[in-house]
Amino acid sequence: MVVGLPGNMASLIATKIAKCKDMVLSPVCLTHETFGIIKRDGFALQGIRVPDHENAIRKYKPDVIVDFSKGSPEENCSMFCECGVPFVMGTTGVNMETMKEMVENSNISAVIAPNMATPIVALQAMLEYVAKNFPSAFSGYSLKIEESHQEEKVDTSGTAIAVERLLNATGAVSDDNGILSIRNPLIQERLYGVPKEYLKGHGYHKYSLVSSDGTVVINIGHNINGRNIYVDGTMRAIRFLAKKSDEHGKVFSMTDVLKV
């Protein structure tokens, strides 16, 4: 069962599931929009709105719920736990500690990650290794972060926030201006080189580490055009979680998914 249609990611995930031989897409989806039947490439789903979400979950009993909604992730987490359905959540801006506590006190498990792109997850795992084993590797360095996403994205990139914490753990001190979030399509195209066809769906990140005397500059960057990489990672997370049906009270990350 997919939550968040007719949003872009939720729509792409539902389309992918509908074409998979090892999955069956629920005939209904959970939405906050005013739609009846939601049609996309390969499927037509009945949109269920609040306050009927919980009733729909209990009626159709999905094996896994995939949530890419823009609503309240904490409320959704509580509902999934109450209904006893494992879930994959890719929504950003979540209160991880709150949701982790809810899952740990439930009879389900979940995959919760701000970024489903497996190459980026691998990069974060590398930085986590550095932070754990070389905590003063960038002591005395300043850290500047820029991230560019489609203008519809209202919050700061969860990936940028996560990488900032990892680099801070290596001794780097964040710039006083914080994370610079670019949402202007004109600036994105002209200054950041985002192809015009991907202005509505991209993720460009740049992390600059500068030594105290300015003689050393280390740039770490990753640019993603389109959403296919996130879809592939989400599908991997669904299959991972489906095999963990006998494990309860655990919150898995995409790093856990990558290890399998």
Q: What whole-number percentage of the chain has pLDDT above 90?
A: 84
Instruction: Quote the pLDDT of residue 87.
Output: 97
Instruction: Quote the pLDDT of residue 245.
Output: 85
* Number of other CB atoms surrounding residue 204 within 10 Å: 20
Q: Is the domain of 36 the same as that of 55?
A: yes
Mean pLDDT, all residues of the chain: 94
| Residues 6+ positions from 23 with CB-CB distance below 8 Å | 17, 238
Q: Is the domain of 15 the same as that of 33?
A: yes
Does the global pTM surpass 0.85? yes
Q: Is the domain of 106 the same as that of 234?
A: yes
Q: Is the domain of 49 the same as that of 134?
A: no
Q: Which of 16, 53, 144, 149 is catalytic?
A: 149
Residues of the domain holding 80 = 2-112+229-258
Q: Which amino acid, one-letter code, is at 58?
A: R
Q: Is the domain of 78 the same as that of 135?
A: no
Q: Which of 32, 70, 100, 153 is catalytic?
A: 153
Instruction: Quote the pLDDT of residue 15.
Output: 95
Between CA 32 and CA 4 the distance in angstroms is 7
Q: Which amino acid, one-letter code, is at 85?
A: V
Q: Is the domain of 70 the same as that of 169?
A: no
Q: Over the stretch 168-182, which tens digit does the pLDDT of each residue have?
A: 999 999 999 899 999
Q: Over the stretch 64-123, which tens digit does the pLDDT of each residue have?
A: 999 998 778 899 999 999 999 999 998 776 788 999 999 999 999 999 998 899 999 999
34 pLDDT above the threshold of 70: no
- Strand 142-149 with 180-182, pairing: parallel
Instruction: Quote the pLDDT of residue 260.
Output: 86
CATH at residue 139? 3.30.360.10
Q: Is the domain of 250 the same as that of 208?
A: no
**Which of residues 229 and 260 earns the better pLDDT score?**
229
Residues pairing with 111 in the sheet:
88, 252
Q: Is the domain of 133 the same as that of 96?
A: no
Between CA 227 and CA 115 the distance in angstroms is 11
232 pLDDT above the threshold of 80: yes
Q: What whole-number percentage of the chain has pLDDT above 70?
A: 98
The count of structural domains within the chain is: 2
| Residues 6+ positions from 51 with CB-CB distance below 8 Å | none
Q: Is the domain of 10 the same as that of 78?
A: yes
Q: Is the domain of 32 the same as that of 84?
A: yes
CATH at residue 70? 3.40.50.720
Residues pairing with 62 in the sheet:
none
Q: Is 202 a catalytic residue?
A: no
Q: Is the domain of 14 the same as that of 46?
A: yes
Between CA 3 and CA 31 the distance in angstroms is 6
Q: Is the domain of 205 the same as that of 246?
A: no
Q: Is 149 a catalytic residue?
A: yes
Among residues 212, 120, 141, the alpha carbon closest in space to that of 128 is found at: 120
